[in-house]
Amino acid sequence: MRRSFIRIFLAGILLSGTAAAAQPELPGGGPRVIPPPVEPIPGYADDSVLVRFRANATAGDKAAARSRLRGSVHREFAAVPGLEHIGLGKGLGVDKAIAVLSNLPFVEYAHPDYVLHVDGFPPDDEYFLEQWALNNTGQASAFGVFLPGTPDADIDWLEARDVADGTGVIVAVLDTGIDYRHTDIAANIWINTVEENGTAGVDDDANGYIDDVRGWDFVNDDPSPLDGHGHGTMVAGIMGALTDNTKGIAGIMPGGQLMALKIIDDTGEGLLSDAIEAIQYALDQGIRISNNSWGYTEILPEEVADHNALYDIMLAAQADDHLCVTAAGNTSGDTDVNPHYPSSFDLDNIISVGATDNTDALAWFSSYGLVSVDVSAPGDTIMSTHKLFAGLIDDYAWESGTSFSAPHVSGVSALILQFQPGWSYGQIRDHIMNTARVVPGLAGKSSTGAVLNADAALAGLPEQVVNIDVIPGSASNVVYPNKAGKLPVAVLGSAVFDATQVDPAKLRFGPAAAPTPEPVVISNVDGLHGDDTTARFPVQQTGILCNDTEVTLSGETYAGQLITGTDTIDATQCESGGCHAY
């Protein structure tokens, strides 16, 4: 009987030379990171204005001005006497409000509440200038590795970096392992805390793997998925390198975690069976995203391409709502004609990623296919972390291949999942593809003909649904109709959402809106996931009606992501003597 196996080959091309921790000096010394800041986008709030009254304005004058706007004071500023932030009545535009105020003799000035944007200064990581994939200003490599490119032929990560960082999201990295000793990624390696805090030599979490603290080495069947090749560490660094730590590179999801699953040996080859077991391991751990920068093209003549074990485990992953990001391959050919697996499987939970260079052109080595490739991402001359030099020194290298395109997509997928933890794999996949930047030269090379765009992907997200708790700590949530007071409402944190970074600006009881809340209080309300944010909303005497059954809160994070949350209330009880205030 003939025995057969399939070798899995990495989808990367190593360039000559690495940059070890004993880094060469830039010509003339000086800082490496000097791209220009991003220009702010003009705009202003459509429901408020800023107005400063003259010193001789009376209280009656100010009240009359607010009455004309059908508005109310949001804030006053003690440092600037007479300055008020006034909310506008429904239907009154900003232009009209300013015109009304400017004609009043006791108003010094009135103007829109302009939207401010950070200037987009890049992180201080030493080699960020080499990362054209994240921010391309047309720069050339300071080490002479690549020539000047086309400005903005990148994924617009710099514009998106302050919006999300992947906190709470774990990406499984199926590769040659990860050198988790590298100080630029060590803090972001996933840790199995049950095993870490358990007994050595015992399967503390009863998952079939003993002492799997950082993941598993499926090649050698041991709990040390250390990278002896370099490829997996480079893939990991693109996604999860620390940012703003003055060294190395910047990762796309520096707040996320990387699960090390070694399926390929130190020569760059692996077995399909190890890949299948690794995917099962990730599914058992509840991981939602995996990066798969590997593949194969040869199958036996009698084999049906879409009927094998790898297809089936990825189909099972689909049923578990798991997204498989895959490298399209480095065949320089059309994978619609000559498929590459797993990227060519016809499964909805696969994103197949081709490679572009720093001019937005399809990289010379990249596979392509109108049907079999979904989107492109930078993959030519990509700098990232590398396995330790001599096992002792942090190292960095440039490599090319669709292997390094895929983790750009995995990283941005993690940013989306951070903001939308309830999204399915299909919603994440479709959002990645729908927000990608169309490039005419990529027409026919993928189903989108477009390049991954992190900024558009995050800017296009709908409101994030968060958990709120009316009257924190109360099981019944009883509120009293026709009673004035202050109603406390907490925004609760979760494993993927930091509630201390929100501004809960508005609250509604059915159709009625509560006034602006008092300053928020940060505390751990529910005993879970760290601190929460509680705001006390003033309630007018007619604010809550007897038939109201729901409270809706809205606001935004400090990074600008809109949030919304609801909680049920019991407003059926009529007020009686001795009833407590909210």
Cβ contact 167:496 at 8 Å: yes
State the Cα–Cα distance between residues 148 and 144, nearest whole angstrom.
Answer: 10
Biggest alpha carbon–alpha carbon distance for the chain: 101
Q: Is 117 a catalytic residue?
A: no
Neighbours of 271 (CB within 10 A): 17
Contacts of 289 (CB under 8 A, 6+ apart): 169, 170, 171, 172, 322, 323, 325, 410, 413, 414, 417, 428
Give the pairing of strands 107-114 and 44-53. Answer: antiparallel
Q: Which residue is catalytic, options 367, 372, 403, 405? A: 403
Composition of the chain by helix, strand, coil, percent to 5: 20, 30, 55
State the Cα–Cα distance between residues 290 and 224, nearest whole angstrom.
Answer: 19
Structure tokens at 89: 């009545």
Inter-CA distances, 152 with 119, 136, 244, 450, Å:
16, 5, 22, 14
Rounded to the nearest 5°, which phi and psi values hold at 376? -115, 160
Neighbours of 109 (CB within 10 A): 13
Q: Listing from the earlier edge strand, what are the strands of the sheet with 350-356? A: 215-217, 257-262, 170-175, 289-292, 323-327, 350-356, 375-378, 450-451, 437-438
Cβ contact 214:189 at 8 Å: yes
Structure tokens at 308: 């094998």
DSSP for 447-485, please give it. SS-EE--HHHHHHT--PEE-EEEESTT-SS-B--TT--E
Q: Is the peptide bond before 342 cis (omega within 30 degrees of 0)?
A: yes
Cβ contact 563:555 at 8 Å: yes
Which residue's entry shows tokens 């392509």? Answer: 368
- Which helix (H) or strand (E) is 289 found in, with range? strand 289-292
Q: Is 431 a catalytic residue?
A: no
Q: Is 343 a catalytic residue?
A: no
State the Cα–Cα distance between residues 177 and 494, nearest whole angstrom.
Answer: 29
Q: Which residue is catalytic, options 175, 212, 394, 395? A: 175
Which residue's entry shows tokens 């480095």? Answer: 330
State the Cα–Cα distance between residues 519 and 538, nearest whole angstrom.
Answer: 12
Inter-CA distances, 4 with 7, 131, 272, 300, 302, Å:
10, 41, 11, 9, 13
Q: Which residue is catalytic, options 231, 322, 340, 408? A: 231
Query: Which among 127, 125, 121 is positioned nearest to 146, based on CA atoms?
Result: 127
State the Cα–Cα distance between residues 329 and 355, nearest whole angstrom.
Answer: 9
Q: What is the DSSP letter of 90?
A: T
CA 154 to chain centre: 17
* Catalytic machinery residues: 175, 231, 403
